[in-house]
Amino acid sequence: MTATDAAQLTADLIRCPSVTPTEGGALVLLEKQLSAAGFDCARVDRGEVSNLFARWGDKGHAKTFGFNGHTDVVPVGDEAAWTADPFGAEIREGIMFGRGATDMKSGVAAFAAAAIDFVSNTPPEGAIILTITGDEEGDAVDGTTALLEYLDTENERMSVCLVGEPTCPNEMGEMMKIGRRGSLTAYFTFTGIQGHSAYPHRAKNPLPAMARLMDRLSSHTLDAGTDHFDASTLAVVTMDTGNPATNVIPAECRATVNIRFNDVHSGASLTDWMQKLVDEVADDSGVESGMAVKISGESFITPPGPLSDLVAAAVQAETGRTPELSTSGGTSDARFVKNHCPVVEFGLVGKTMHKVDENVPVAQIHQLKDIYSRILTEYFA
């Protein structure tokens, strides 16, 4: 059988303009190829989001390897700043350009190609499941979460899962993810009484109170890190009133902070801590207060063991590098998969993701497919 060309599949996917939440033809293309290879496929669309489930092998098999990824991409941005068509998949000197080239149509193409060739050439005793969403770059409400709910409803089960996000900072094979920090955004509102700046005693200024709160939050050391996580971080990302006048004390001030936290904390414990500080500052200053919190994901870790050993060995065999086991970076859909089964992440070098002229060396796409193929071979050996 002719091998599935992962680079060609990457190019075909890039040419699908699947900016979140538009499907753009990407999942239609994948479903066609996977179905032709004997995968049972189902669209698991919810709301405006398109998702694809594909399984080869017996349903509910005790040895089922899963891949997870996404075909949606972030907006192009300033298209005039690109030197290549963002959806053209142009190749120059062995490098393919296009939105999603790195994040993460190449990863999806590599694991889809590896899975198709593997089941076609050496049908395993077991099953392979692919869950591919169109909502990772968006709100992530109707994407992988919908797929996992579908798995539960249909009594489908992945034994382990590999998420194909780009994980390597500079060189292919140098890093894999065995966990991720949690992410939380808090929105604060302090309300006082508007007045003339020449008569501050007749007003109640919410700005000093908000400044005190932001200082207390940002100067606090959350922790010193743990065995597998760096120290948690808190960043004040905005504080404003929308007040254009210099002779007016505004009635309201708003501020936002973002926290990336390790396994010392939970979203709930951090929310309780912030609410305590809000109440203290509001009581001292006499302003009215409000706080809203959005928890994008809790921290998690898949402890080093059989799954990380399997992936690390395949990476070392194909690249000559033993990947660092890391929990760095932002969030990914692994934060949802970890509730279903053990999960790790490994993929390409991510230096150009979300940038103008996002690109990937074609050779790296083939190398990634080889790594995924080796993982499947060893898992089912």
Cis ω on the peptide bond leading into residue 104 (within 30° of 0)?
yes
Greatest CA separation for the chain: 84
- Catalytic site includes residue 136: yes
Count CB-CB contacts under 10 A for residue 76. 17
The one catalytic residue among 117, 135, 136, 156? 136
- Catalytic site includes residue 5: no
> How do beta strands 195-196 and 175-177 pair?
unpaired
CA distance 140 to 72: 11
Tokens for 280, please give them: 């203290």
**Nearest alpha carbon to residue 159 among 324, 307, 354, 360:** 307
Burial of 341 (0-12, 13-18, 19+ CB in 10 A): middle
Tokens for 316, please give them: 């070392």
List, as own/partner pairs, every contact residues 237-246 make where C-beta atoms lie below 8 angstroms and the sequence separation is at least 24, other chains included.
Answer: 239/210, 239/211, 239/214, 241/206, 241/207, 246/197
Region of residue 38 (phi > 0: left; psi between -120 and 50: alpha; otherwise: beta): left
The one catalytic residue among 72, 135, 156, 345? 72
No. of helices (H) and no. of strands (E), the chain: 9, 19
Question: Which positions are catalytic?
Answer: 72, 136
